[in-house]
Amino acid sequence: MNSLRMALDSITEKKGRSFLTMLGIIIGVTAVLVLVAMVTGYNSDMTAYYEKLGVNKVTVELSWYDTSRAFDMVMPLCEYGNGELSDMVEGVTPDLSTRLPVQYDGAAVDSTAVYLGSDQYAACSNYILESGRDILPQEIENRSMVCVLGSYVADTLFPYTDPIGKTVAIGGYPFLVVGTYYQKDGGAEDSMDHMAAVPYTVNRALLRSDRVDSITVKVNSTKNVDTVMFRLELWLAEQIDGAVGEYSLADGNSAMAESNDEMTSLSVVLGGIASIALLVGGIGIMNIMLVTVTERTREIGIKKSIGAPRWEIIGQFLLEAGILSSLGGLVGIALGFAPSFWVRPCMG
């Protein structure tokens, strides 16, 4: 008897038409949901990637006319970071890497990422020691041929035995395995676990160069990043003669912030496009309600003549449009959820 029942009656009376009316809203809502979900998923993917790389890093970029001078800065910078700045700095390591095969007993892991780091390389790059020990400071000084293997390399070369104490060949040079790292990125061939860390002082052998372009300083907390950068700036200005050398500082968090900004604008753009689909759906409902009003002028006339107030009649049409929109929205939400279940495994 009430408007709600009348609205439901007129919706169920013409099922086909009601469904077609809702279709626009269904597609619109589904599109918005799927697109926003995809962007959000990709965004959290990127955030996770940056977090694995390690946050709160300050990169000191160095350039000298004489390239070997930059290498000479590594040791003092390590000492400064671990000395005066030790309450804010977790580690300092040069950014040196190359891709070389790692071999053991006839087996080989090709193009392994070999990082030539300091004894604090693991802390700087978020690796955690699983077994054995890390590279020691004196091994850096002594140019010792020791290495710590990433989980992919260790698992591939030593499927049944303990790698600690074995000697592997990296780029043809013998290296003693002193430790292994925990898996941090899925452990597959294309992951960050396909790596080995060696003392940076073996650079002449592995890289055939003594060039260093940058040094990473890992800060213990985001709030300390600016202070550390300021202190480093002062220290570097004191150490480096501006006539022959240059330095610059970069905040690693800003790369992540940039990526976040990109994601935000991407989600606004895609969401906007999907909203147009939603808008078109809304216009569809508007259109069909207009037709319904024209069709039912007679019924409206009858109701007016028996004393129905204006809002009662308007209310009934609004209620009908509202029910159609909400039903369409609910179906759209259900349909929007469905793809997220098969998209998730696809995107990894």
Give the footprint of other proteins on this chain (CB under 8 A).
1-2, 6, 9-10, 13, 298-299, 301-310, 312
What's the min distance (Å) between Cβ of 327 and other proteins? 19
Q: How far is CA 315 from CA 37, 212, 311, 329, 332, in A?
A: 35, 75, 5, 20, 25
CA distance 171 to 198: 12
Between 298 and 341, whose beta carbon lies closer to other proteins? 298
Between 308 and 330, whose beta carbon lies closer to other proteins? 308
Between 174 and 307, whose beta carbon lies closer to other proteins? 307
CB 192 within 8 A of CB 235: no
Tokens of 273: 């496009």
Tokens of 341: 């279940």
Nearest to 172, CA basis, from 98, 122, 121: 98
What's the min distance (Å) between Cβ of 317 and other proteins? 15
Between 13 and 241, whose beta carbon lies closer to other proteins? 13
Between 243 and 298, whose beta carbon lies closer to other proteins? 298
What's the min distance (Å) between Cβ of 279 and other proteins? 32
Nearest to 19, CA basis, from 344, 327, 289: 327
What's the min distance (Å) between Cβ of 295 and other proteins? 13
Where is 98: in which H helix or E strand?
strand 97-104
What's the min distance (Å) between Cβ of 321 and other proteins? 18
